[in-house]
């Protein structure tokens, strides 16, 4: 966004004011996430910077909250549960969602709009409503307070993300490639695995990542559907924030920020790969 | 050529082309539907059915008919002018005896207590004394508890002996039925829901407005920078988007609380005195700030994808035709971004009125949303019918906005990341 050479002085000033405003908004977006990283090394059990920290005195810093986290059976159990539930529901959501997306991208799909709206609805319906509804229903069929119940609930919540990303990938899919493969003698199975799948994989993987993070970060439904045996990370954090605010939560938060950075990098690499495969130069 | 040009075209095996095509399309349709059906079936069972059942629970009214079946039968033909006669009281004693033996009077007494306070204790006390009561039951029961001598009690039992009820919906909008069946407002100190609905709406609208205010310049900047730079800045938008909701809420607690980072900075700068730290959390401010931060990416992403499609030459053309920068922006660029504003606005609004976690953690008493009341009735007051009714109203509002969104933008146009 360069300033055109014909810009007047007023326009130049406005240009810099605008950039300054944008910088402030970016600070609002990212600043809070960066502030907790140093706070999590606080030697004091507070949520604010101590004098010693501000003076960069090493005594003001400590790893005690990380130690607390990695030695607590409650936190480690919660992580384990989060991974079990997250991975199982991601696999289910990815399989069901990808197959459905293949059907939805068919030109002749009947009632496409209505079905799509239905498939996306778990993302739109307020979580508290889904949670309350699933609580009643799962209690009735003995799925409440079981792993299976939480996994099925999270599968439903993850499905919209898989459907959206995979259909988006398929909609820009060049179907002449399939005909070309056929004309070169490949049978449908071979075409699917050699041509369609490699091109769709980035969409599937990013859909799966979305589904996983949805489950990994979900509190409300677990709060209602799970029992004490299925305590996940977010539930542990939730009760930590509500009951006894301990900076261990800041250590967990820092680790989760790092996790999201990792995920973001993965997604960015996937996007570049798919652009390269499609022959779109990244500029 | 033996065929005349008028004869229909056929495929190699002699089937008319039209028929063959239609068959192919049908096969393709069936194939597509079969691919979608496992997911439809799954969502139908795991998501749609629970919601339908919850909606049903908001009107379901089984307590009086099941637990007071004899009383209800005996009340038939009652004139509603004077207290019912001995047979009705005898039937009540019989019903309560059975309920006491089966230990399920709790449901009944709480159900009736929602409508008329004092019913719980009346039923419980009567049930405890059942062994000592002797006929004539009418006098005995009235002596035991005044409630049984009130005409309203019997009118209430008769009114609630229908299998469906609207009382939960009435309670959800702070109304109740009088014993005679008129709809009136509940006493002032019990009015909570309507004001919470309004608060949820105006705070969501405020949050939507704020995200638009903050998101528009960012989306504009991202859309007008060359891709190389904008991809880099996009990471700053996507990082919070990908970060755990609880993490983001926690950081706002760390920043905004009275011993928190922002207050510390303000004290250090001398803006406020140490003993007059601002209360920025556990109130409306906390909810609005934290939710604006959380929902901002949902505004930026749709705005960006719309702005990306506006050719920069439009603005240059407007400028070359003599339009001052602001005028060109207002008349040319801004109207073109309206679809993005609508998409982001509706999305943020829908997500925001359904938020539960953030208002519950940083909202305190004054920054609470209607969702927090659904949770309250689910977990604490255990008035599930009322929770279901409030949830149904909220769901209705969300579905209306979702349909508008779908009509205007189309759900499949939603882009993630």
Q: What is the mean pLDDT of chain B?
A: 85
Residue from A71, A49, A69 nearest A61 by CA: A49
B166 in helix, strand or coil? coil
- For A15, residues 6+ apart whose C-beta sits below 8 A from its C-beta are A3, A7
- For B1, residues 6+ apart whose C-beta sits below 8 A from its C-beta are none
Q: How close B43 gets to chain A, by Cα (Å)?
A: 6
Beta bridge partners of B175: B185
Q: Identify the pLDDT of residue B329.
A: 84
Q: Which residue, chain included where needed, has tokens 């406005």?
A: A14
For B83-117, what is each residue's pLDDT tens digit?
887 888 888 888 888 888 888 888 888 888 888 88
Give me the helices (H) in A192-247, please: 197-216, 220-225, 233-242
Give me the helices (H) in B178-333, please: 193-224, 227-242, 245-256, 261-268, 284-307, 313-320, 325-328
A9 has a chain B CB within 8 A of its CB = no
Q: Identify the pLDDT of residue A2.
A: 65
Cis check for the bond before B136: say yes or no (omega within 30 of 0): yes
Beta bridge partners of B176: B184
A116 in helix, strand or coil? helix
Residue from A229, A90, A134, A238 nearest B57 by CA: A134
Kindly determine whether residue A32 and residue B43, on different chains, have CB atoms separated by under 8 Å.
no
Cβ-nearest to B33 among A110, A164, A216: A110
In chain B, what residues touch A28 (CB-CB under 8 Å)? 214, 293, 296
Q: Check: CB of residue B342 under 8 Å from CB of residue B407.
A: no
Q: Give me B179's structure tokens.
A: 């014993």
Q: Check: CB of residue A267 under 8 Å from CB of residue A252.
A: no
In chain B, what residues touch A152 (CB-CB under 8 Å)? 46
Nearest chain B residue to A99 by CA distance is B35
Residue from B214, B226, B290, B301 nearest A22 by CA: B214
Q: Check: CB of residue A204 under 8 Å from CB of residue A105.
A: no
Q: Identify the pLDDT of residue A283.
A: 38
> Using CA atoms, how far apart are residues B145 and A45, in angstroms rounded to an integer?
56
Neighbours of B100 (CB within 10 A): 17
Neighbours of B169 (CB within 10 A): 18
Residue from A46, A100, A89 nearest A248 by CA: A46
A270 has a chain B CB within 8 A of its CB = no
Mean per-residue pLDDT, B255-270: 83
> Using CA atoms, how far apart are residues B244 and B247, in angstroms rounded to an integer?
5
DSSP 8-class letter at A47: S
Please, what's the largest Cα pairwise distance for chain A?
74
> Using CA atoms, how far apart are residues A212 and B106, in angstroms rounded to an integer?
42
Beta bridge partners of B183: B177
Mean per-residue pLDDT, B20-41: 88
A152 has a chain B CB within 8 A of its CB = yes
pLDDT cut 70: percent of chain B above it: 96
Q: How close A185 gets to chain B, by Cα (Å)?
A: 21
Q: Identify the pLDDT of residue B353.
A: 92
> Using CA atoms, how far apart are residues A97 and A123, in angstroms rounded to an integer?
14
DSSP assignments along B119-138, one per residue: HHHHHHHHHHTGGG--SSHH
Buried/exposed A46-60: b ≥16 CB within 10 Å, e otherwise: ebbbbeebeeeeeeb
- For A214, residues 6+ apart whose C-beta sits below 8 A from its C-beta are A154, A157, A158, A161
Residue from B301, B305, B292 nearest B256 by CA: B292
A149 in helix, strand or coil? helix
- For A4, residues 6+ apart whose C-beta sits below 8 A from its C-beta are none
Q: Identify the pLDDT of residue A282.
A: 43
Mean per-residue pLDDT, B16-41: 88
Q: Identify the pLDDT of residue A159.
A: 93
Mean per-residue pLDDT, B270-287: 83
Mean per-residue pLDDT, A99-120: 85
Q: Which is more confident, B382 or A277? A: B382
Q: Torsion over CA of B162, B164, B170 and B176, rounded to 10 degrees? A: 10
pLDDT cut 70: percent of chain A above it: 97
Residue A108 pLDDT greater than 50, yes or no: yes
Q: Identify the pLDDT of residue B291.
A: 93
DSSP 8-class letter at A226: -
Mean per-residue pLDDT, B263-275: 82
Residue B417 pLDDT greater than 70, yes or no: no
- The residue among A6, A120, A129 with the most chain B CBs within 10 A of its CB, best to mutate, is A129
Which A residues in the span 88-107 are in contact with B, Cβ-Cβ below 8 Å? 96-97, 99-100, 102-104, 106-107
Q: Identify the pLDDT of residue B293.
A: 94
Burial of B102 (0-12, 13-18, 19+ CB in 10 A): exposed
Q: Check: CB of residue B109 under 8 Å from CB of residue B119.
A: yes
Mean per-residue pLDDT, B375-383: 88
Which A residues in the span 33-52 are in contact with B, Cβ-Cβ below 8 Å? 33, 35-36, 39, 46-49
Cβ-nearest to B32 among A109, A118, A125: A109
The number of CA neighbours under 13 Å toward the Cβ of B258 is 9
Q: Check: CB of residue B287 under 8 Å from CB of residue B363.
A: yes
B10 in helix, strand or coil? strand
Q: Check: CB of residue B293 under 8 Å from CB of residue B239.
A: no
Beta bridge partners of B185: B175
> Using CA atoms, how far apart are residues A236 and A216, in angstroms rounded to an integer?
12
Q: Identify the pLDDT of residue B348.
A: 93
- pLDDT confidence tier of residue B1, bands split at 50, 70 and 90: very low
Q: Identify the pLDDT of residue B411.
A: 63
B150 in helix, strand or coil? coil
Neighbours of A263 (CB within 10 A): 20
A279 in helix, strand or coil? coil
Q: What is the mean pLDDT of chain A?
A: 85
Cβ-nearest to A125 among B53, B237, B395: B395
> Using CA atoms, how far apart are residues A158 and A122, in angstroms rounded to an integer?
8
Mean per-residue pLDDT, B210-219: 94
Q: Which residue, chain included where needed, has tokens 């003995």?
A: A142
In terms of phi and psi (left: phi > 0; alpha: psi -120 to 50; beta: otherwise), the region of A217 is: alpha
- ipTM strictly over 0.90? no
Q: Identify the pLDDT of residue B5.
A: 56
The number of CA neighbours under 13 Å toward the Cβ of A64 is 11
Residue A232 pLDDT greater than 70, yes or no: yes
Neighbours of A63 (CB within 10 A): 13
Q: Identify the pLDDT of residue B202.
A: 94
Q: Check: CB of residue B220 under 8 Å from CB of residue A246.
A: no
Phi and psi at B10, nearest 5°, equal -130, 160
> Using CA atoms, how far apart are residues B269 and B227, in angstroms rounded to an integer?
40
Mean per-residue pLDDT, B291-297: 93
Residue B378 pLDDT greater than 70, yes or no: yes
- For B123, residues 6+ apart whose C-beta sits below 8 A from its C-beta are B96, B105, B108, B109, B112
A174 has a chain B CB within 8 A of its CB = no
> Using CA atoms, how far apart are residues B295 and B349, in angstroms rounded to an integer?
9
pTM value > 0.90: no
Residue from B264, B280, B274, B249 nearest A48 by CA: B264
Q: Identify the pLDDT of residue B297.
A: 92
DSSP assignments along A174-204, one per residue: -THHHHHHHHTT--HHHHIIIIIHHHHHHHH
Kindly determine whether residue B259 and residue A48, on different chains, have CB atoms separated by under 8 Å.
yes
In chain A, what residues touch B51 (CB-CB under 8 Å)? 125, 129-130, 133
For A146-197, what is each residue's pLDDT tens digit?
899 999 999 999 999 999 888 888 887 777 888 888 889 888 888 888 888 8
Please, what's the largest Cα pairwise distance for chain B?
108
Residue B397 pLDDT greater than 90, yes or no: yes
């Amino acid at each position: 966004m360069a300033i055109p050479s014909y810009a007047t002085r007023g326009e130049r000033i406005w240009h810099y004011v605008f950039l300054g405003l944008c910088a402030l908004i970016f600070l609002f977006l990212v600043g809070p996430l960066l502030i907790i990283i140093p706070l999590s090394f606080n030697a004091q059990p507070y949520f604010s910077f101590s004098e010693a920290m501000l003076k960069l005195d090493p005594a003001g810093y400590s790893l005690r909250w990380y130690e607390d986290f990695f030695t607590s059976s409650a936190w480690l159990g919660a992580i384990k549960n989060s991974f079990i539930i997250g991975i199982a529901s991601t696999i289910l959501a990815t399989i069901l969602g990808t197959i459905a997306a293949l059907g939805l991208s068919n030109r002749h799909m009947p009632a496409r709009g209505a079905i799509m709206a239905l498939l996306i609805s778990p993302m739109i319906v307020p979580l508290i409503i889904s949670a309350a509804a699933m609580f009643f229903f799962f209690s009735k069929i003995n799925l409440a307070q079981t792993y299976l119940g939480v996994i099925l609930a999270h599968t439903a919540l993850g499905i919209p993300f898989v459907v959206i990303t995979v259909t988006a990938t398929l909609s820009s899919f060049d179907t002449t490639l399939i005909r070309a493969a056929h004309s070169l003698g490949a049978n449908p199975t071979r075409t699917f695995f050699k041509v369609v799948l490699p091109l769709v994989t980035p969409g599937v993987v990013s859909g799966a990542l979305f589904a996983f993070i949805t489950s990994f970060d979900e509190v409300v439904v677990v709060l209602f559907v799970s029992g004490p045996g299925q305590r996940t990370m977010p539930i542990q954090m939730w009760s930590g924030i509500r009951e006894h605010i301990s900076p261990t939560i800041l250590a967990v938060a820092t680790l989760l920020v790092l996790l999201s950075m990792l995920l973001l990098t993965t997604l960015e690499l996937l996007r570049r790969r798919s652009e390269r495969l499609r022959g779109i130069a990244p500029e | 050529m033996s065929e005349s040009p008028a004869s229909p075209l056929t495929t190699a095996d002699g089937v008319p082309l039209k028929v063959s095509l239609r068959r192919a399309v049908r096969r393709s349709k069936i194939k597509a539907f079969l691919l979608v059906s496992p997911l439809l079936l799954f969502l139908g069972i795991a998501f749609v059915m629970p919601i339908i059942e919850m909606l049903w629970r908001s009107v379901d009214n089984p307590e009086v008919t099941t637990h007071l079946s004899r009383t209800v039968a005996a009340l038939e033909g009652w004139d509603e002018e004077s207290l019912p006669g001995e047979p009705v009281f005898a039937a009540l004693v019989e019903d309560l005896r059975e309920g006491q033996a089966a230990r399920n009077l709790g449901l009944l007494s709480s159900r009736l207590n929602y409508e008329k306070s004092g019913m719980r204790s009346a039923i419980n006390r009567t049930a405890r004394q059942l062994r000592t009561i002797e006929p004539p039951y009418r006098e005995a029961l009235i002596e035991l508890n005044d409630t049984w001598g009130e005409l309203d009690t019997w009118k209430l039992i008769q009114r609630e002996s229908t299998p469906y009820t609207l009382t939960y919906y009435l309670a959800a909008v702070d109304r109740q039925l009088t014993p005679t069946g008129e709809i009136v407002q509940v006493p002032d100190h019990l009015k909570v829901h309507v004001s919470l609905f309004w608060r949820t709406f105006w705070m969501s609208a405020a949050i939507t407005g704020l995200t638009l205010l903050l998101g528009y310049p960012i989306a504009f900047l991202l859309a007008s920078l060359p891709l190389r730079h904008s991809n880099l800045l996009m990471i700053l938008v996507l990082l919070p988007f990908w970060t755990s909701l609880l993490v983001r809420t926690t950081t706002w607690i760390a920043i905004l609380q009275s011993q928190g980072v922002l207050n510390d900075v303000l004290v250090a700068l001398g803006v406020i005195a140490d003993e007059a730290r601002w209360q920025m959390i556990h109130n409306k401010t906390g909810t609005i700030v934290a939710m604006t931060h959380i929902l901002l990416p949902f505004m930026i992403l749709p705005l960006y994808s719309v702005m990306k499609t506006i050719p920069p030459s439009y603005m240059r053309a407007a400028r070359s035709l003599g339009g001052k920068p602001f005028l060109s922006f207002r008349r040319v660029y801004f109207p073109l971004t309206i679809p993005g504003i609508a998409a982001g606005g509706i999305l943020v609004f829908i997500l925001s009125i359904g938020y539960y976690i953030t208002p519950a953690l940083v909202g305190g008493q004054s920054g609470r949303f209607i969702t927090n009341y659904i949770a309250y009735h689910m977990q604490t007051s255990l008035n599930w019918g009322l929770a279901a009714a409030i949830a149904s109203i909220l769901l209705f509002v969300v579905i209306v906005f979702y349909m508008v969104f779908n009509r205007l933008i189309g759900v499949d146009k939603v882009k993630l990341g």
